[in-house]
A and B are shown apart, each in its own frame.
Chain A
Amino acid sequence: MTDRPLQPMDAIEVHGMTRSAFILQGALGAGALYGAGAAGPFVRRAFAQEGGDAEILNFALMLQYLEEEFYSQALELGLTGDVKKLATAFRGHEQAHIDTLTEAVTGAGATPVKKPTFEFPIEDQGSFVTLGMTLEDTGVQAFNGAGPMLTANEALAGAGMIVQVEARHAAALRLAAMEEPAPDAFEETIEMKDVLEAVEPFIQK
């Protein structure tokens, strides 16, 4: 996979950065624009307690809290038409993911991470679709990056069932934003620590 030719999307996006780095910076940029500046210790504290599957599952849970809250806030913006339908359905899926992961973390003998208070720089349908696309793409890449590290089959199976739905969300929102639903033949991966840094700007201390 390392020697596959550079894809057009990789090339456009830029200046020697990888796609995942580009996406992360986009997410960070959006947070910064909104004025939610420096990354704080909130997330790291929440994850300091455990390792292994429980840590990865809690990381996934945190992302699902973020996404569910994102759609909830978006639905207060007066979305319309197909975009409103997508946001409504997707919010339901994220809530289901929260339930599944909360159970999984508890089942792994750990304490589910507490839901943070989030705030997102969205003010209309357009900014919702753009940030939604970035968050879902990042979610997929985060799950794919962490997936192979899971040791229990139950955890891997659950993560797989969730990530496929996230990928479908990402594709639908990309189409809504007039972007390619699948920008490459292979999904990029992003490491947990990078994802946590990227989402910090959306967390209210």
Chain B
Amino acid sequence: MEHSQSEARAAGTGAMQRLGSDDSSRKRFLKMAGGTAVAGAFAALLASCGGGGDEEKAEVDEAAPSTAQTGDFKILNFALMLEYLESDFYEKVVSGGMLSREALEMAKTFGEHEREHVDTLEAAVKEGGEKPVARPRTKFPLEGEEQILGLAAQVENLGAAAYLGAAGLIQSEDVLGTALSIHSIEARHAAALNIATGKEPVPFGDTGLAVPAEMDAVLRMVKPFIAT
């Protein structure tokens, strides 16, 4: 444990140092987020979603350098895409009839939270005069309670990591406030599901520090759940 503790803590501190290494780091990260790698991955993922009609899809693959505002909208749309996935996941799980009473209650409650996140994020994107990302069609391997809860834990832990990774890229205080208010709820879901599946509620060794995930990594990880 000591070994993993110092290792993971060093990783956390390293991330903090990278983020804080210069005054313009937030802008620098935004530029990266608006750059080809992430925007490209996001665009490719969205293109593979299908179903929504091309004309309805938000323009996320902008070649032009991001202003703070377009950067925040990209992040809001990224978060919205994750919430669509989570919301769909719980909808399918709840209607699938494979859960026992207790697990079903939890899935219903968490699913309702995800629906509210979707509503709030859609409204936030629209209020800024931007288009919400097209709702992806999803596919999840749901073959019994154990697998469903395991997948739910995986998705929620990823969601929490994604919000944590994106928070530092956000420019607007309001958008940041909204992201934080969702982040800790995703973390609560993740902890509850970890416990339900016999794992540690705080799966970061003894570091005491959550591990963030960057947008492109998150997009790669959710790709198997997007129906093409």
B178–A171 touching, CB < 8 Å: no
B177–A153 touching, CB < 8 Å: no
Q: Which of B25-53 contact A (CB under 8 A)?
A: 25-26, 29
Tell whether A185 pairs with B116 under 8 Å between CB atoms, given A93-B202, A171-B192: yes
Interface residue B113 (Cβ < 8 Å from any Cβ of A): yes
B side interface size, CB within 8 A? 55
**Contact residues in A for B26 (Cβ distance below 8 Å):** 153
Q: How many residue pairs between the two chains, A and B, have CB atoms under 8 Å in the bound complex?
A: 172
Question: Of A14-22, A73-81, A159-167, which binds chain B?
Answer: A159-167
Q: Mark A36-55, 1 if CB is under 8 A from B, else 0.
A: 00000000000000000000
B210–A164 touching, CB < 8 Å: yes
- Complex CA gap A168/B199 in Å reads 12
A side interface size, CB within 8 A? 48
Determine how close the nearest CB of chain B comes to the CB of A173; give it in whole angstroms: 9
- Complex CA gap A174/B191 in Å reads 11
**Contact residues in B for A160 (Cβ distance below 8 Å):** 164, 167-168, 180, 183, 210, 212
Question: Of B12-20, B54-62, B63-71, B140-148, which binds chain A?
Answer: B12-20
Minimal Cβ-Cβ distance residue in A for B177: A148
Q: Which of A186-200 contact B (CB under 8 A)?
A: 186-189
Minimal Cβ-Cβ distance residue in A for B201: A172
Determine how close the nearest CB of chain B comes to the CB of A161; give it in whole angstroms: 4
Interface residue A110 (Cβ < 8 Å from any Cβ of B): no
- Complex CA gap A166/B180 in Å reads 13
Q: Which of these, A100, A172, A184, A185, contacts B191 with CB under 8 Å?
A: A172
Tell whether A96 pairs with B208 under 8 Å between CB atoms, given A157-B20, A170-B188: yes
**Contact residues in B for A174 (Cβ distance below 8 Å):** 188
Interface residue A23 (Cβ < 8 Å from any Cβ of B): no
- Complex CA gap A174/B192 in Å reads 9
Tell whether A164 pairs with B187 under 8 Å between CB atoms, given A148-B173, A185-B117: yes
6 A-B pairs closest in CB distance: A154-B20, A96-B208, A93-B208, A164-B210, A185-B116, A167-B187
A-to-B contact residues, CB < 8 Å: 1, 4, 86, 89-90, 92-97, 100, 140, 144, 147-149, 152-158, 160-172, 174-175, 180-182, 184-189
8 chain-A/chain-B pairs, Cβ below 8 angstroms: A94-B208, A152-B20, A161-B12, A164-B160, A168-B191, A181-B192, A187-B180, A189-B177
B-to-A contact residues, CB < 8 Å: 9, 12-13, 15-17, 19-21, 25-26, 29, 109-110, 112-114, 116-117, 119-120, 160, 164, 167-168, 173-174, 176-178, 180-185, 187-192, 194-195, 200-202, 204, 206-212
